[in-house]
Amino acid sequence: QCLLSGSWRSNSGCRMVVSVLGKDGSFSGSYLPGPATGDSEILTSPLEGSQQDAGLVSQPIFSFTVRWQLREAARTTAFLGQCYVGTKGEETLHALWLLREAADSPAEDWKATR
């Protein structure tokens, strides 16, 4: 059974720590980008999300957002994925993400999402 509580590390060295996992599947914690991002301006940032009921399915779907703590910019990232359990019981997260930066005007909107 996959439970998101605890510490997770990505292939690029980013770290997600889920410190609170509610009975309703909601969770919160913090996210810290790894050295691969090359952005020393990013601080540990809060995350909030929800996970499908792990009592109903062994490999639940989850989503969460990270509100980046930056010194001079506004960014939010949304993650959507699934937790998989391997044959030896190891848990792995697979996720897609979208990063949104604040745009100065509607004309700049096209380049604000990656």
Burial class of residue 67 in the structure, from the number of CB atoms within 10 Å of its CB (0-12 exposed, 13-18 middle, 19+ buried): middle
- Looking at this protein, which amino acid is placed at residue 54? A
Percent helix / strand / coil, the chain, rounded to 5: 10, 50, 40
- Considering the domain boundaries, does residue 1 fall inside one? no
| Stretch (H or E) spanning 43 | none
- Considering the domain boundaries, does residue 113 fall inside one? no
Report the CATH number at residue 20: 2.40.128.30
Give backbone dihedrals phi and psi of 35, rounded to 5 degrees, phi first: -65, -20
Q: Please, which pLDDT band fits residue 2 given cuts at 50, 70 and 90? A: confident
- Give the span between the Cα atoms of 54 and 103, in whole angstroms: 38
| Stretch (H or E) spanning 69 | none
Chain segment 11-52, per-residue pLDDT in tens? 888 899 998 889 898 999 999 877 655 556 667 889 999 999
Q: How many domains does the chain have?
A: 1
